[in-house]
Structure 1
Amino acid sequence: MTTLGLAGSPDALAQQGATEAEAVAAQSGSSADRKAGMASVPPGKGKQEAESAARRKTRREMITVRGERGSYAATDSSMGDKRSTPFLEQTQTTNVVTHQTIVDFAPQTIEDMAKYVPGMVVGNNFGGTQDSLIKRGFGSNDDGSILRDGVRMPIGRNYQGDTTERVEVLKGPASLFYGMQEPGGVINVVTKAPDFHRFSANFGTQWSSLGGGQGHLDFTGPLGKDFAFRLIGGFRNENYWRNFGANKQVLVAPTLNWRHDRWDGALSYEFVDYHNVLDRGAVFVGNNPVSGPQKRLDEAWTASFGARHLIASHLGYRLGAHDRLRLAGGYNRDDYHDRQADPSSYNPRTGILMRRYRANSGTLRANGSVALDYIGTHELWRMKHEITAGVDYENRNQDQGAFYQSANQGGFYPSKPVYGGLAPTGRLNPASSNLQQNINNASGYLKDNIHLTKTLIASGGVRYQWFALRYGSGIPFVETTKASHTKPLPFAALVWQPFKSVSFYGDYSQSFGANLLSAGTVLQGGYKPTTGREFELGARYENHGLTADVALYHIRKKNVLQAAGLDGNGNMIQRLTGLAGSKGLEASLTGALTRHWSAILSYAWTDARTLRDTPETEGHQLIGVPKNSGSLFLTWNGALPWYKIAMRAGGGVQLVGTRAATLNNSFQVPGYGTVDAFASWTVPKLFSRQVSLQLNAVNLLNQGYIITPTGSAFRNSWGQGRSFAVATNIAF
């Protein structure tokens, strides 16, 4: 089914993932902005001098923003207001993984962003095949919190390093602008935009110590005066880090942007054909896994595979110097299949693991969105008002298709695995097939940031949210849930900036959404939507390329969908707990320490618990949430004395504490620490081309650890072992 729904990322959406420089150029270069720039010139100056002042202003803004592209610090973000907002004036906590961070540390999935953002850890990612991030204690692999240029993405892997400019994370309930969300936060992947100014191209390869590698091509440039294009292509065939398997992918991503007078628009498409390892991970007895990370418990045929399509577009019109309209929308579709060697039971006395073949065939996951926004800035009673108002509509659809399953089969010893004993054949399971879940929602929203004085901003807003859900499964199909709900969601915040480099803020926000059930799960008990609210207090610092913030928050969430073990058929049981809560402290510091040294520092203390439920679970920690987590990365950059070679080198450690592995905390998985490092060299002119070489090391000390528990003694994911990658890039 074709779907339409939530769109409306930030200004980053308006430029389809434009870089900061291109976003400023697009806005500052319009006729309305030029008029605004001339109007600010004192009376008595001529037209020529006014235009010169406007050009100087535009150049100054562009130079400032372009400098940020090489920094770990972001001095603005569009997540909280759908417009570029300075760091010290933002009304909620926002963390940005900048372009330079992505270039240096070469993250492979969206889950790697947890290394650089406080209060985020990896959740149940279905054997390493789905994005899953827990933010401030809440989140799952189907919580709808991953956006691409403002378009909500389906389950699966939705981050591509070749196409990504930066990643923005808005903490706390984000339902005001982004609809049905978890109260922990929302993540927007901002993609690279075409270059209107010059033609350029680069070709890069990356070779892995595990075997195989990947490559990419990136072309961009103007097409006449009003158009610009970008075409990115990528190919990957890389061995998996455990004893067998490979990840394969083909990527094609064209983008066309358009600007004329007061109009701007963009149309982008991305196609990904993928075949990835599905690793069921570790089986636990008590607090210990029955085997180590070296040998898998799967078979060579286990995999997830399919094709993803994403179309995103926007059309903007500037009404005047201070008002603009934007119509944005997108559609994505994932045609998905998988094959699993699923562990079902383990006998500690005999050492035998029972497994069975399971497979989802013909699964369709599709989301779509359309949103119309008004964004204006006006002065009333000597107070500046930054107004964002709009309406949106979204449809989310999941159709599982056929589900196959074999009988349980023994004869497999995790301590000495012998593969090939389990065949990839099974019978159709009518009861678990044909899962259909469809959600429609529509909303209207309004937010006004009122600059009461030069140092004080009061912000208020409200969203009125409606959604209808239809859920059922089976052959023949049986509808088990049909419901619709509405709710107003208020927002309030206050920002005080007593000094040039320091601000304080506080906010109150709410979340509201449907509880989404994943394929291969059953719901225990009745269905209800989930609601949440958060109070937050924080402080920020920004000065000379260095940003820092600290935040205290308190979240309450009703009707929390939790994993509660396996049923007799091996399906994951999910049920709603009455009330869960999360409170904590987060702190981060990013940017330049000196001329040559930069840092990324993050820390989070998170107390996330079930507050009201059955006696067996009440008061226990939520699954997968560590009380303490943090990271420290340092980077040196400078010039070598030979051939004007620029060098960057850095590394650091991520630390994650002990986490509860089940809803009743019957066992825990231990904490871990991993060390990553990189070094890169760039020659500006080698045979008239810029050439770079980069070496990355992941988990340098080869720490064996569980990256995420799943709510069961089975299917707990191992974190990646040590690997090295050598990358080359030639810019034309």
Structure 2
Amino acid sequence: MRNIRNPNRGTYLPGTGIVLVAALGIMMPSEALARDSPMEGGRGVTAGGADDAVPETGGRNSGIVASRSEHMRAQRKLDAAERRHEVLTVIGARGSYAASDSSMGDKRPTPFLQQTQTTNVVTRQTLADFSPQTMEDMAKYVPGMAIGNNFGGTQDALIKRGFGAIDDGSILRDSIRMPIGRNYQGDTSERVEILKGPASLFYGMQEPGGVINVVTKAPDFRRWGAGFGTQWSSLGGGNGHVDVTGPLGQRFAVRLIGSYRNENYWRNFGANRQILLAPTLNWRQERWDGSLAYEYVDYDNVLDRGAVFAGSNPISGPQKRLDEPWTASFGARHLIAGHLGYRLDTHDRLRLSGGYNRDDYHDRQADPSSYSSRTGVLMRRYRANGGTIRANGSVAFDYLGDHTLWRMRHEITAGIDYENRNQDQGNFYQSANQGGFFPANPVYGGLAPIGRVNAANSNLQQNINSASGYVKDNIHLTGSLIASGGVRYQWFGLRYGSGIPFVQTTDASYTKPLPFAALVWQPFRTISFYGDYSQSFGANQLSAGSVLEGGYKPTTGREFEVGGRYEDHGLTADFALYHIRKKNVLQAAGLDTDGNLVQRLTGLAGSKGFEASLSGALTRHWSAILAYAWTDARTIRDTAATEGHQLIGVPRNSGSVFLTWAGNLPWRTITMRAGGGVHLVGTRAATLDNSFQVPGYGTVDAFISWTVPRIFSRQLSLQLNAVNLLNQGYIIAPTGSAYRNSWGQGRSFAVATS
């Protein structure tokens, strides 16, 4: 018998300690707090839509975004008139929800109208206004994204164009693949970029639905500045942050971000706590440039198994939890990332980039196992991961060239990469099923966090090594026509096993060439059309506490896509039609008698759909974010009970409408922003055989903020955010089981000052 404790719990400040974090900034001299501080509305200065216009203050993107020193050298060659034009562009773009370029598709900034695949960007201004708390909130602003099995609200699980899961490898931080867990940190993030469709050409083993990259804030080479602030929640508690950045001589710049969070959970008990520390050092010297970043996160978060369904209805509402106060996921995460770049000449450059991250993870679960409608009793058991190490390491060497041959411009990206992904789980604990719990009138404390070692589920070991070479050439055939072609040759080897004693069940390797082709036609200055073909290839990965039914195979996919884009005066819009086929789809198929999640590989699944979005300025004062997706994602070839049915968690219709007003008030040149909107999600299948579904929902969010440019030589901002204003009760994440379905957050308010 063993009681799992929390060996990684940090030393948390009391509730009033949040104020002490913000007070650190007050002690700084006023001259250190520049008017253009690094925290504007709690985020970085660089505006969305011109995220790379001022490289010194834009987001960091190791291995993707062109280095700041390269931009600096290019800018020094411009004359004074061009430099004045750059300043006007940045100022005019502030407050924009539109992004004029993205680096996701080509590992270099590519103008919106010339991109060869669908790319969506959640800009700095969107993050500042709506203050998303997790990666799942990005689905509100991007078409075609839904929430999958998020393991009780503790993991990022985003479904893109019908495909995606917890551990699908599709979430990157500055191009470094992240382990499962929560990978979005609002204090360190500059913007979020989403590349739709298969992204294996540059990003290796991926789902065919897309890949997501969180771009973090970079140091400022121009001047010293600092920001500090707090956010208080109506639920109780809140967070505080400090952000300091500036140059160290001519060659170095540094940024240090720290934050502390202690906030009550939105249901009847629990709290989320976190300590974050993130230093970054950038360097430049003549043709060289580099960066080195580290992030440490100590976390202790609520693990909430959510709703239990009897038939098509939950047995209780979102007000009362069905688990225990000791349920949690906790641990410590370390991330180190860097790059080294060298410009050979004005047309060629080399870049070496890489990173390593490690998550020392633990959890405790009060897991529901069965429910009797006759007696009203819910059977539960204690389950726990006693200690899991999840680590990823990667390195990539890239050549980026820009040449003219036979009067045609060639943008060439070529490289090689290597990656290792490792999961090493210790003992898995489980108790016997225990009754006496009535969801209609819950009494807590009857289930103790004590269990025996489950030998079959313990000692899970999974190791994936992969190596690849790739090349892509964007050929500007004419001033309005771009042909793009590329290929990746992918190899990976996987070893998988579990149990006490350890039994290795998989030891295999696979190779596959992955071609890419695209055509972009821009007949007008503001309009372009595109079409592309791409493939995906990757390893199916099992998570702790799950078993595979049947033999193992890698997953492959392909997509055809066509679309169009519009961009003019700070407004962008696009639409896309796509058709995806994926083989060997890892799907949830219920629970076995021991409470393990059963997974199996369906023979073939498909997704087809239409997406449209509009972002940016409508008038001088009004901006908008509009998104809509129609998605038909189904099992095409599998057992008779599942063929033709919808894939789990994918709504046929979803969309969002957000409007924002921005302008100046007559008092002390105060700037005000106010906005809000609705996010709508349709009905979703909750099991492979579609035996029951979870209903659709709509949530309303709103915000209002005021910024005073100079008070005692400092800029002051005040912001109020409202989430789920109408307090809609809804299921955000069906999981394939009647016993584990996550509720969406109820109504809450947050007041932030910075």
Which TM bucket (shorter chain)? over 0.9
Cα deviation, 1:462-506, whole Å, max 9, x if unaligned, reads 000000000000111100011100000000000000000000000
- Aligned match of 2:332 in 288, 296, 307? 307
Deviations 1:595-619 (A, max 9, x none): 0000000000000000000000000
Amino acid of the structure 1 residue aligned with 2:311: G
The structure 2 residue matched to 1:26, chosen from 69, 85, 107, is 69
1:339 to 358, 364, 374: 364
Task: Tell me if 1:60 matches 2:85.
Answer: yes
1:726 corresponds to: 751
Q: Is the 8 A contact 1:337 1:363 kept in 2?
A: yes
Residues 1:264 and 2:289 aligned together: yes
How far residue 430 of structure 1 moved from its aligned partner, in angstroms, is 1.0
CA shift for structure 1 position 62:
5.5
Provide closer, same or farther for how the CA distance between residues 71 and 487 of structure 1 changes in structure 2, counting only shifts above 3 A.
same
Q: In structure 1, the residue corresponding to 2:138 is in which secondary structure?
A: helix
Match of 2:260 in 1: 235
2:250 alignment partner, SS class: coil
Residue aligning to 1:153: 178
CA–CA distance in structure 2, aligned partners of residues 96 and 355 of structure 1:
42
Q: Deviations over 1:85-118 (max 9, x none)?
A: 0000000000000000000000000100000000
Q: How far off its partner does 1:286 sit?
A: 1.1
Contact 2:56 2:222 in 1 (8 A): no
RMSD: 1.6
Aligned twin of 1:47:
none
Q: Residue 255 of structure 1 aligns with which residue? A: 280
Supply the AA of the counterpart residue of 1:26. S
**What corresponds to 1:137 in structure 2?**
162
Match for residue 17 of structure 2?
Answer: none
2:353 corresponding residue in structure 1: 328
What secondary structure is seen at the aligned counterpart in 2 of 1:176?
Answer: helix
Match of 1:505 in 2: 530
Equivalents in 2 of 1:65, 1:151: separation in Å? 28
Q: Which amino acid aligns with 2:155?
A: Q
Q: In the alignment, is the contact (CA less than 8 A) between 2:468 and 2:488 conserved in 1?
A: yes
The answer for the alignment partner of 2:740 in structure 1 is 715
Residue of structure 2 equivalent to 1:542:
567
Equivalent residue letter for 2:102? S
User: Of 705, 722, 731, which residue of structure 2 is paired with 1:697?
Assistant: 722
Residue 18 of structure 1 contacts residue 190 of structure 1 at CA under 8 Å; is this kept in 2? no
Report the counterpart of residue 528 of structure 1 in structure 2. 553
Partner SS state of residue 263, structure 2: strand
Structure-2 change in CA distance of 1:448 and 1:132 (3 Å): same
State the 1:685 CA deviation. Answer: 1.0
Relative distance call for 1:403 and 1:217 in structure 2 (3 A) is: same
Does the Cα contact within 8 Å between 1:17 and 1:190 map onto a contact in 2? no
Structure 1 counterpart of 2:251, from 191, 205, 226: 226
Q: CA, structure 1 residues 62+638, in 2 after alignment: closer, same or farther (shift >3 Å)?
A: closer
Change (3 A) 1:262 1:300: same
**Separation of aligned partners in 1, 2:546 and 2:55:** 39
- What amino acid is aligned across from residue 494 of structure 1 in structure 2? L
User: Aligned partners of 2:72, 2:198: CA distance in 1, in Å?
Assistant: 35
Match of 2:30 in 1: none
1: distance between equivalents of 2:164 and 2:534? 17
Q: 2:487 matched to 1:444? A: no
Q: Determine whether 1:423 maps to 2:448.
A: yes
Asked if the contact 2:60–2:215 (Cα under 8 Å) also holds between the matched residues in 1, the reply is: no
Of 371, 383, 389, 1:364 maps to 389
- Say if 2:221 and 2:247, in contact at 8 Å, map to a contact too: yes
Is contact 1:16–1:191 with CA below 8 Å preserved after alignment?
no
State the distance in 2 between where 1:385 and 1:338 align.
Answer: 51
Match for residue 591 of structure 1? 616
How far apart in 2 are the matches of 1:396 and 1:408?
34
What's the CA shift for 1:659?
A: 0.1
Deviations 1:672-722 (A, max 9, x none): 000000000001111221101000000000000000100010110000000
Please give the residue correspondences for 1:166-565 in structure 2 after superposition, counting only pairs within 5 Å: 166-565=191-590
Report the CA distance between 1:415 and its aligned residue: 0.7
Instruction: Give secondary structure in 1 for the equivalent of 2:113.
Output: helix
Q: 1:69 touches 1:99 (CA, 8 Å); kept in 2?
A: no
Q: Look up the SS of the partner of 2:439 in the other structure.
A: coil
For residues 61 and 487 of structure 1, do their structure 2 counterparts lie closer, same or farther at Cα, with a shift above 3 Å needed? farther
Q: Secondary structure at the match of 1:499?
A: coil
Does the Cα contact within 8 Å between 1:285 and 1:713 map onto a contact in 2?
Answer: yes
Conserved in 2, the CA contact under 8 Å of 1:28 and 1:58? no
Q: Quick check: 2:56–2:68 contact (8 Å CA) kept in 1?
A: no
Counterparts of 1:325 and 1:132, CA distance in 2: 34
**Residue in 1 that maps onto 2:671:** 646
Normalising by the residue count of structure 1, what TM-score does the alignment of the two structures yield? 0.94
Of the three residues 98, 101, 126, the one matched with 2:151 is 126
CA distance in structure 2 between the aligned counterparts of 1:631 and 1:595, rounded to whole angstroms: 22
> Structure 2: 5+ residue runs without aligned partners?
1-50
- Residue 59 of structure 1 deviates from its aligned partner by 4.6
Q: How many Å apart are 1:33 and its aligned residue?
A: 7.0
Deviation at 1:63, TM superposition (A): 4.4
TM-score, normalised to structure 2, is: 0.91
Distance in 1 (CA, whole Å) between partners of 2:509 and 2:227 is 50
CA distance in 1, matches of 2:87, 2:535: 36
**CA–CA distance in structure 2, aligned partners of residues 235 and 25 of structure 1:** 30
Whether the aligned pair in 2 keeps the contact of 1:249 and 1:272 (CA below 8 Å) is yes
One-letter amino acid of the structure 2 residue matched with residue 686 of structure 1: I
Secondary structure of residue in 2 paired with 1:616? coil
Q: CA contact under 8 A between 2:147 and 2:157: conserved in structure 1?
A: yes
After superposition, the C-alpha distances for 1:252-289 in whole angstroms (9 at most, x for unaligned) are: 00000001111100000000000000000000011100
Pairs aligned (count)? 700
Change (3 A) 1:336 1:15: farther
- Cα 1:354–1:208 change in 2 (3 A) is same
1:163 to 170, 175, 188: 188
Match of residue 3 from structure 1 = none
1:322-347 CA-partner distances (Å, limit 9, x unpaired): 11000000000000000000000000
Give the C-alpha shift of residue 19 in structure 1.
3.4
Distance 1:504 1:696 in 2: 38
CA contact (8 A) 2:66 2:108 kept: no
Deviation at 1:15, TM superposition (A): 7.8
Q: Deviations over 1:26-67 (max 9, x none)?
A: 33322x775xx5xxxxxxxxxxxxxxx544335534543564
User: Does the CA-based 8 Å contact 1:293-1:704 persist in structure 2?
Assistant: yes
Whole-Å Cα distance in 1 between the matches of residues 726 and 121 of structure 2? 28
How many Å separate the matches in 1 of 2:648 and 2:437?
29
Structure-2 change in CA distance of 1:447 and 1:720 (3 Å): same
- The 1:153–1:451 alpha-carbon spacing in structure 2 relative to 1, beyond 3 Å, is same
C-alpha separation between the residues in 1 aligned to 2:90 and 2:112?
Answer: 13
Aligned to 2:99, what secondary structure does the other structure show?
coil
Q: SS of the counterpart of 2:278?
A: strand
Q: State the 1:70 CA deviation.
A: 2.7
Structure 2: distance between partners of 1:678 and 1:562: 38
* Residues 89, 503 of structure 1: 8 Å contact kept: yes
Q: Partner letter of residue 732 of structure 2?
A: I
CA distance in 2, matches of 1:368, 1:16: 27
* 1:681 lines up with 2:706 in the alignment: yes
